């Protein structure tokens, strides 16, 4: 006789919702504070390379990283600091890469956005222009060949990347092979400075899913609760055989394309629409309205985030930079192919 399992109680579901929301908020807050510090260091000449902030996109990013689990694959992009942290990247890894420390995951050798730990499922970014979609699809197909089941791959891209060849080829492959891939599109209204009206003519980017035969989800990218609900649902659908899932989030990038860009091309009227809401402030308002925390607790969490980033920066500033005259530039994975290592 099979005994029925009771459904979760309303109070248990409410408790889970609260815990998940507060966890997501803290990842968002840590990402915001850490990126503000990185931007300050960039303006002070302490960062080599560009700095691209995720301000306004942290809710979507954090929800993506949180919906995945150990063993999954995540290919984050330039505005995914919150998702990186939620997926398991340490703050120290990010700071070390931005500041060129030889002790960072890229050993001070690469641009600061191309960091990752592939063996742990966190992929270094190739490009934000859709290039990571076929990479994740290939990894998932390779896992299938090896008999590895139950894992999901996710990557992010912007609205402009949906017009690239890599998007078409990668999503088409994923759809044909019914791969457990979640594609998260941050429709932030501009591909750098090109508005969506000059990128595509479909009414909704989710309409593109129909042509590939994949499931589509729309979400308000400024609402952490909505992002968590949709991303967890999409990841679960992919994990349980539902094939690729396309998630389209509507929001507005609240800063320039990078710290070198003043975003003067953005239509000021957009900032006064729901798209222009600051997702961090929206999350704070819900926390206070629900009574999940008070203002003093929110301030304490913010102070803790500032402490963490200051500690990471202080540690990194004491660490060595790579010396071009003595550095062994051979890639770790290709030692056996280096000059002089092959038999005569």
pLDDT, position 14: 78
Half-sphere exposure (Cβ direction) of 297: Cα atoms closer than 13 Å: 10
**Matching residue, tokens 């301000």:** 55
* Cα 301 from Cα 306, distance rounded (Å): 9
Helices 58-67, 279-290: inter-axial angle, 10-degree rounding? 70
Q: In a 10 Å sphere around its CB, with 0-12 CB exposed, 13-18 middle and 19+ buried, how is residue 187 labelled?
A: buried
pLDDT, position 131: 93
pLDDT tens readout for residues 122-178: 999 988 889 999 999 999 999 999 999 999 999 999 998 899 999 999 999 999 999
Question: Residue 341 above 60 pLDDT?
Answer: no
Question: Residue 8 above 70 pLDDT?
Answer: no
pLDDT tens readout for residues 88-135: 999 999 999 999 999 998 888 877 888 999 999 999 998 888 999 999
Which DSSP letter does residue 117 get? Answer: B
Q: What are phi and psi of 287, to 5 degrees?
A: -60, -45
Domains of the chain: 12-337 (3.40.50.970)
pLDDT tens readout for residues 267-312: 889 889 999 999 999 999 999 999 999 999 999 999 999 999 999 9
Q: Any idea what the Cα angle at residue 103 is, between residues 99 and 108, rounded to 5°?
A: 50
C-beta separation of 179 from 135 below 8 A: no
pLDDT, position 10: 62
The residues near 319 (Cβ < 8 Å, ≥ 6 apart) are 96, 101, 102, 103
Reading the block at residue 153, the tokens are 């791959």
**C-alpha 106, offset from chain centre:** 18
Tell which residue, 328, 295, 255, 308, has the closest CA to residue 42. 255
Question: Residue 343 above 60 pLDDT?
Answer: no
Per-residue pLDDT, averaged over 202-217, amounts to: 92
55-69, 152-166, 215-229, 283-297: range with lowest mean pLDDT: 152-166
Kindly provide the b/e burial profile for residues 281-293, where b requires at least 16 CB atoms within 10 angstroms of the residue's own CB: ebbbeebeeeeeb
Kindly provide the b/e burial profile for residues 90-101, where b requires at least 16 CB atoms within 10 angstroms of the residue's own CB: ebbbbbbbbbbb
Answer yes or no: pTM beyond 0.85: yes
- Strand locations in the chain (E): 73-75, 153-158, 181-187, 190-191, 194-195, 215-220, 245-250
pLDDT, position 1: 44
In the sheet that holds 181-187, the strands lie side by side as 73-75, 153-158, 181-187, 245-250, 215-220
Dihedral of CA atoms 23, 29, 31, 34 in degrees, nearest 10, equals -140
Chain-wide mean pLDDT for the chain?
91
Residue 244 neighbours by CB distance under 10 Å: 31
């Amino acid at each position: 006789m099979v005994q029925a399992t009771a459904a979760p109680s309303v109070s248990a579901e409410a408790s889970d919702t609260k815990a998940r929301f507060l966890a997501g908020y803290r990842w968002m807050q840590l990402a915001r504070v850490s990126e503000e510090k990185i931007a300050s260091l960039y303006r002070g000449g302490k960062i080599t390379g560009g700095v691209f902030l995720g301000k306004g996109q942290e809710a979507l990013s954090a929800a993506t990283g949180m919906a995945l689990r150990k063993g999954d694959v995540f290919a984050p992009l330039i505005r995914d600091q919150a998702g990186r942290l939620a997926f398991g990247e340490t703050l120290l890894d990010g700071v070390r890469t931005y500041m060129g420390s030889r002790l960072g995951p890229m050993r001070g050798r690469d641009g600061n956005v191309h960091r990752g730990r592939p063996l742990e499922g966190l992929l270094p970014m190739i490009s934000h222009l859709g290039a990571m979609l076929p990479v994740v699809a290939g990894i998932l197909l390779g896992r299938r060949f090896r008999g590895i089941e139950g894992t999901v791959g996710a990557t992010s891209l912007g609205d402009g990347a949906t017009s690239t060849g890599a998007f078409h080829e990668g999503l088409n492959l994923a759809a044909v092979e019914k791969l457990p891939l979640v594609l998260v599109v941050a429709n932030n209204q501009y591909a750098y400075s090109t508005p969506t009206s000059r990128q595509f003519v479909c009414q909704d980017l989710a309409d593109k899913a129909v042509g590939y035969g994949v499931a589509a989800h729309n979400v308000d990218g400024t609402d952490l609760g909505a992002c968590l609900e949709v991303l967890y649902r999409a990841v679960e659908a992919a994990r349980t055989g539902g094939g690729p899932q396309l998630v389209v989030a509507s929001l507005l990038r609240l800063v320039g394309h990078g710290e070198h860009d003043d975003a003067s091309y953005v239509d000021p009227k957009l900032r006064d629409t729901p798209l222009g809401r600051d997702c961090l402030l929206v999350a704070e308002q819900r926390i206070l309205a629900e009574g999940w925390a008070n203002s003093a607790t929110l301030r304490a969490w913010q102070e803790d985030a500032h402490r963490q980033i200051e500690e990471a920066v202080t540690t990194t500033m004491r660490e060595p930079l790579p010396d071009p005259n003595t550095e062994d530039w051979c890639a770790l994975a290709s030692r056996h192919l280096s000059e002089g290592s092959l038999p005569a």
